[in-house]
Amino acid sequence: MIGKAITGGNISGLLNYCYYENTKSKKDKNVRGEYIFSQNVQVLSSDGRLNLSAIAKQFSDIARLNQNCTQPFWHQCFSFPKDENPTNELLEKITIDFALDFGFFERQMIAFRHYDKEHHHFHIIANRLDLEAKNAVKTSNNYYRINAFCRKIEKKYGLKAVEIGRVNQIDGKESPIHNKYADELRASIDAYLPNAQSIDEFTIMMQKLGYLIEKSRGITFVLPKNNIRIKGSDLGKEYSLSNLSKKMKGEFIPNFVKSSEIINLKRIIDTVLPKVENYQEFKNELQTQGYSVRFVEKDSKKDIKFEKEGLGCKFVLGSNLGEGYRMEDIQKRISENSPMIKYDNNENVPIISDLLESSKANFQTEQDLAKIDQSLNYNKISKGINTNKWGLKKKF
């Protein structure tokens, strides 16, 4: 048995989907859903058909009392293998088990069975709010809870165990799927991804191997000849669409790097920063530890990049290390160690060498110094003071 759940706020749409055929015409709709169960709802019929408007009103009347819950309705679907044909009595038992396990027993529910696909399946519509419009049923970890519930029901009623192509949860940890097709797919991705410069280029490479790729919020690999679909994230987190893109850019940090090198890099940075007075010193100190450091532009923002041979990925960005290690954080920590700008006692003008050191500590270029003259007093120039091209007093 396989379960899938979504939440929403349109009860009329849910009821119509589960009861009527999906047709563009609003008239002369054919019933496709067989009503099999309900609780805390008056199921009214008209001419042999359910009065969906009356049922929807009962759900909405409860939901309307709690404006804080924007998605008060739960739509649950359970599907069975093609060769399994459960009775309506069994579906009713499963619905009650679902209500008990997920907290819907004292809430509004209605269930319909569908016969419009090769496999048998049924739908449950439930109100997450109780009859007093309070205490909404939680939706966190839906997938894992439903997966565990399906395995429990299979054992309880002697149903056929279904190996689903999704990530399994073992002892609270995500475990990627492993089978012949998944292992072959991982090997192909690992072999061809390093040679691709974009997802589109990678897609062409995989097509030559017989895989089709579907992209939306994630990535799905399809083997048409076997009618097999495998989500990238089900192969492991590093095979999700976002992480495949990061791998091509060299920005992906594998778990083994996070657990070892990242801790070591942060320790080195924390040790070095209190000792240095400018960026060049910081860069030199990191280099003695095997890291090269330089600035990069990412999404129109400046970042700091750490590279090291054998790191496990091309580089690590300061922003990947978290708060305290981003470029602006490191900039601030270095500037706190920089000597204060000295002023001439007589003229109250910053000495140029000290100003340059301060600018380096704050990652400024000499060109940036030209902007400083807008905030300084240049009346000194007219008094014949020996100045440089910025009008600042030279240090001899």
Q: How far is the C-alpha of 327 from the C-alpha of 299, rounded, in Å? A: 14
Q: Is the pTM of this model over 0.75?
A: no
What pLDDT, on the 0 to 100 scale, is given for residue 314? 62
What pLDDT, on the 0 to 100 scale, is given for residue 379? 40
Q: How far is the C-alpha of 107 from the C-alpha of 96, rounded, in Å? A: 12
What pLDDT, on the 0 to 100 scale, is given for residue 222? 87
Question: Across the strands, what pairs with 2?
Answer: 79
Domains and CATH numbers, the chain: 2-164 (3.30.930.30), 176-249 (no CATH), 255-335 (no CATH), 340-396 (no CATH)
What pLDDT, on the 0 to 100 scale, is given for residue 107? 94
What pLDDT, on the 0 to 100 scale, is given for residue 82? 83
What pLDDT, on the 0 to 100 scale, is given for residue 391? 44
What pLDDT, on the 0 to 100 scale, is given for residue 298? 57
What pLDDT, on the 0 to 100 scale, is given for residue 124? 96
What residues of the chain score a pLDDT lower than 50? 165-173, 256-257, 341-355, 360-361, 366-367, 369, 372-396
Give first-to-last CA distance, the chain, whole Å: 84
Other CB atoms within a 10 A radius of the CB of residue 58 amount to 17
CA angle in degrees (0–180, nearest 5) for 120-123-126: 160
pLDDT tens-digit map of 142-165: 877 888 899 999 999 999 887 554
What pLDDT, on the 0 to 100 scale, is given for residue 110? 96
